[in-house]
Amino acid sequence: MKNQGVMILLIVMIIFLSILIGFFLGRNIGSSPIHISKLPDATSASTAQSEDKININIADLDDLQKIPGIGMILAQRIIDYRDANGPFETVSELTKVNGIGLDRLTRMMDYITV
């Protein structure tokens, strides 16, 4: 009876170890090696980001309308505000334009710069 209990324990341990080894070996099957390339320096990354964004201080009516949430009327209001008050010092200053609140500004943040 004692031998039978030891045999069952050995079989359970062998099965457990087989599953454990299979799990760890199987995790690496099909995974590709990671290649690390040289990352761009911060200067070129910020330049690339700002090139993709529309500068609200120099954008014309057509450029401003490319910003999501800005139609012809809001674009003209931005230009009128800029003409009357000078260039925007910060993007958040856009909330001073009639029709642009914090919610709309938040949606536009990824597309604009000063």
* Structure confidence by residue, pLDDT tens digits, 12-21: 888 877 776 7
Residue 36 has pLDDT above 90, yes or no: no
Looking at residue 100, the DSSP 8-state letter turns out to be: -
- Residue 99 contacts residue 73 (beta carbons within 8 Å): yes
In percent, the amount of the chain with pLDDT more than 90 equals 54
Q: Phi, psi at residue 112, to the nearest 5°?
A: -130, 160
Domain ranges of the chain: 48-113
pTM of the model: 0.56
C-alpha gyration radius of the chain: 31
Residue 28 has pLDDT above 60, yes or no: no
**Which pLDDT score, from 0 to 100, does residue 31 have?**
53
Which DSSP string corresponds to 24-84? HHHTTTTPPPP--PPPPPHHHHHHHHHHHSEETTT--HHHHTTSTT--HHHHHHHHHHHHH
Give 113's strand partners.
Answer: 55
- pLDDT per position as a tens digit, 46-57: 444 556 899 999
Give residue for tokens 């029709």.
Answer: 99
- pLDDT per position as a tens digit, 41-93: 444 444 445 568 999 999 999 999 999 989 999 999 999 999 999 999 999 99
Looking at residue 99, the DSSP 8-state letter turns out to be: T
For 48-113, CATH number?
1.10.150.320
Confidence tier at 113 by pLDDT (50, 70, 90): very high
Kindly tell me the burial class for residue 66, based on how many C-beta atoms sit within 10 Å of its own C-beta (0-12, 13-18, 19 or more). Answer: exposed
**Which pLDDT score, from 0 to 100, does residue 33 have?**
53
